[in-house]
Amino acid sequence: MARTPLVPGPDHPITVTPTGQRVTVSVDGRQIAASDAALTLREASYPPVQYIPIADVDPAVLRASDAHTYCPYKGEASYYDLVVDGTEQADTVWVYPRPHDAVADIVDHVAFYPDRVDISVGG
């Protein structure tokens, strides 16, 4: 059954803008991603999320997961487990392979749970 996307608006705003600064992601001091082309997604009252081009993530640390979730504003998310130096963190990275039109810019970008990795913007 097809799901009807919800469109962001005054009650649930979403913006996607270039971050404009270098974004790095590390785990236990090991850098696993670095990008000058990150996007900042701001959604309603949630904290901003950094979306990094998947091409700027070390592919050796990503392992596809079977997990999927659905957001009516963004679409269906697929997940990756993060495997760094033999330590696995399940479903730590997500991607919207076919995001809804309102957030189409995040295609081919991934985001990380900030409580599981260290994300630095501009530093």
pTM of the model: 0.95
Element spanning 66, H or E: strand 62-71
Instruction: Annotate 7-42 with DSSP letters as a single string.
Output: PPBTTB-EEEEE--S-EEEEETTEEEEEESS-EEEE
Other CB atoms within a 10 A radius of the CB of residue 72 amount to 12
pLDDT given for residue 3 in this prediction: 82
Tens digit of each residue's pLDDT (9 = 90 or more) over 24-79: 999 999 999 999 999 999 999 999 999 999 999 999 999 999 999 999 999 999 99
Using CA atoms, how far apart are residues 82 and 33, in angstroms rounded to an integer?
A: 12
Q: Which fold has domain 14-115?
A: 2.170.150
pLDDT given for residue 121 in this prediction: 98
Q: Any idea where the domains of the chain sit in the sequence?
A: 14-115
